[in-house]
Amino acid sequence: MNIQDFKIGLKTYPSEAPGWSGGVYYPRQAENASSETDQYISKQADGSYKIRSRMWTETEVTGFGIYPYVNSVLFSYKTGLKDGEWTVTFSNPGDEALCVNCYADEVLMIRDEEVLPYSEKSVSFTVYSIHEVTSLQFFVSDDATCIDDAKDRCLYIKDIEYKECPNKTPGDKPYIFLASDSTVQTYEKFYYPQTGWGQVFQNYFCPDEELHECMSDDKVYPQCHVYEKNSIAIENRSIGARSSRSFIDEGKWNALLMRARPGDYCFIQWAHNDATAVRPNRYVCPEDFDFFLMKYINSCKSRGIYPILVTPVSRRNCDDNNGDFPMSFKEYRDVMLEVGKRENVPVVDLCLMSNEYMKKVGGEEAKNLHLWCPAGAYPDGAYADGVSDNTHLQEYGALVYARMVARALLDMEGFKEIDKLKPLINLGSEPQKKVIHTIPKPVNKEVPSGFSLQELNIENKIANFLLIWNDVEGATSYNVYRKGSVDFQFFPLRSVSSSEKKSEAVLPFMLPAADVYQVKVTAVFEDGRESEPSRIIEFRA
């Protein structure tokens, strides 16, 4: 392909980020200064193109919003909503190795690929496009943390080849793909009884058929699990701390589309993390939620995949509302219902069903649905010290809500694709709660209990992880400490106010990757007194 076949523009970020306003963070906005494009790209004598880039990463003041910015040329090509294989041939006329990168529709598809001196290297990747026009942006890595420290770096492109992938054919049985967050995710045994409803959804399909469970073949992240039976398979690609925005930005939607075939189904449940404005990289305001949902819907429909929207599981939010259960994420639910009606896409209103169910059984019984368990109930796992979590589910709640989703499919009318699933659904009997036997032990009520780590994720040499612990009565704040492999003592990681702790089911933290860490937490009281530390968690990042 001749590079001149592309529409060539320029994507830069000249203006500073507006920053925080009204509780929302606004990053830099891209601008297209086409008049300056010639300063960033030039044709060389050997026919290759020299491309100049400037890359830096800004972290907003709270430390949770991380934004890589690249000033460089943008190559745009009309692909349609198709699957296409790209092959980029880089050259390196210099005497030092180059580490090249490529964004395709803002998803990092080539990461620090080394091109040796005086050599050429071809790198291929597949884009399952969610836009009519696919855009490529190439750059060389830079550790700069502000635009003033970023250096102009050059790379060389010999050729860009695009080849549309052959149309996929339907599989021998339908696959149900699940794209969602931690309320749907599959968990390791260590975290039991924590369970996402997607982890047990297979219970309500063909229960008499033998089940084979394994990690997804692509192994892009360990939470991807396949539950396969003779007549149907469910692939749970849900992962905690993601939103409709970040699931796409991290390439996880591209990876799902790579697996899906015509005739498959994709259940899409978002809102829990979209609604978290204090976490900028994943926040999606209700006004923009429609825009992101349409990316999922259009990219499914164009490939013969059936999208099904699922409104988010309600939180057990009665404790601070005089025993009442206000509907969680109502604005996002309303958008899903409206989009489903407008686009003729099935909607399972799990938000309403879960909310009504909790109202029916009451606040105390609802603890059995969510991740509440006493100390000693599961002595060998993450929640040995007990846990009180109003957002995530335990196994009984996951079974109850998965069954609700299955029942909603049986009751749904007007969708031929849903009718094809109905013969495979078997609700069976209602889930039964397990009897919990605790192992009594002395408890210091001033020490934070239920301390555990969730959802460790490493991106761009940064380890992002979530910590959870139970509230301590009378505590005004909490101190979280960390210790690296070469440290002789614990150092403060950050302080968490009691109000922040109460407002978040789990709390995000980050550390530089490539080390083994220990973390612990203490409670701080009004008189300045600090409790004994919680148990220590050790993990490799």
Q: What local confidence, expressed as pLDDT, does residue 456 receive?
A: 81
pTM: predicted TM-score of the whole model, two decimal places: 0.88
Q: Give 71-114 as a DSSP string.
A: EEEEEEEE--S-EEEEEEEEEE-SSS-EEEEEEETTEEEEEEEE
- Whose tokens are 């059936």? That residue is 306
Q: What local confidence, expressed as pLDDT, does residue 1 receive?
A: 58
By C-alpha distance, which of 470, 478, 505 is closest to 375?
470
Encode 115-157 in three state secondary structure. ECCCEEEEEEEEEECCCCEEEEEEEECCCCCCCCCCCCEEEEE
Task: Centre a 10 Å sphere on the Cβ of residue 9 and count the other Cβ atoms it contains.
Answer: 16
- Cα separation of 137 and 133, whole Å? 13
Q: Which residues lie across from 52 on neighbouring strands?
A: 154
Encoded amino acid at 512, one letter: P
Angle between helices 395-411 and 350-361 (to 10 degrees): 120
- Cα separation of 54 and 139, whole Å? 7
Q: What local confidence, expressed as pLDDT, does residue 10 receive?
A: 94
Q: What local confidence, expressed as pLDDT, does residue 441 receive?
A: 66
- The CATH number of the structural domain formed by 3-164 is 2.60.120
In terms of CATH architecture, what is 175-424? 3-Layer(aba) Sandwich (3.40)
Strand bridging mode 387-393 / 175-179: unpaired
- Whose tokens are 């907003």? That residue is 60
Q: Give 290-358 as a DSSP string.
A: HHHHHHHHHHHHTTT-EEEEEPPPPP---TTTTT--PPTTHHHHHHHHHHHHHHT--EE-HHHHHHHHH
Query: At 520, is the secondary structure helix, strand, or coil?
Result: strand
Per-domain residue ranges of the chain:
3-164, 175-424, 452-540
Q: What local confidence, expressed as pLDDT, does residue 440 receive?
A: 66
34 within 8 A of 10, measured Cβ to Cβ: yes
- Cα separation of 334 and 327, whole Å? 11
pLDDT in tens, the chain (541 residues): 567 789 999 999 999 999 999 999 999 999 987 778 888 999 999 989 999 999 999 999 887 788 999 999 999 999 999 999 999 999 999 999 999 999 999 999 999 999 999 999 999 999 999 999 999 999 999 999 999 999 999 999 999 999 999 999 999 999 999 999 999 999 999 889 999 999 999 999 999 999 999 999 998 888 999 999 999 999 999 999 899 999 999 999 999 999 999 999 999 999 999 998 988 999 999 999 999 999 999 999 999 999 999 999 999 999 888 889 999 999 999 999 999 999 999 999 999 999 999 999 999 999 999 999 988 888 888 888 888 899 999 999 999 999 999 999 999 999 999 999 999 999 999 999 987 777 666 778 899 988 988 778 777 678 888 898 989 999 999 999 999 887 878 999 999 999 888 877 788 888 888 888 999 999 999 999 999 999 899 888 8
Q: Cα dist. 383→67, 146, 517 in Å?
A: 34, 41, 19
Q: Is the link from the previous residue into 27 a cis peptide, with omega within 30 of 0?
A: no
- Whose tokens are 């995000």? That residue is 508
282 within 8 A of 246, measured Cβ to Cβ: yes
Q: What angle do CA 405, 284, 497 make, to 5 degrees?
A: 95
- Cα separation of 386 and 91, whole Å? 57
CATH 3.20.10.10 fits 452-540, yes or no: no
- Cα separation of 377 and 356, whole Å? 28
Q: Which letter, b or e, does each residue of 303-332 get, where b requires 16 or more Cβ atoms within 10 Å of its Cβ? A: bebbbbbbbbbbbbbbeeeeeebebbbbeb
DSSP code of 384?
T
201 within 8 A of 224, measured Cβ to Cβ: no
User: Residues with Cβ < 8 Å from 489, sequence gap 6 or more?
Assistant: 483
- Whose tokens are 């490939």? That residue is 303
By C-alpha distance, which of 465, 457, 468 is closest to 506?
468
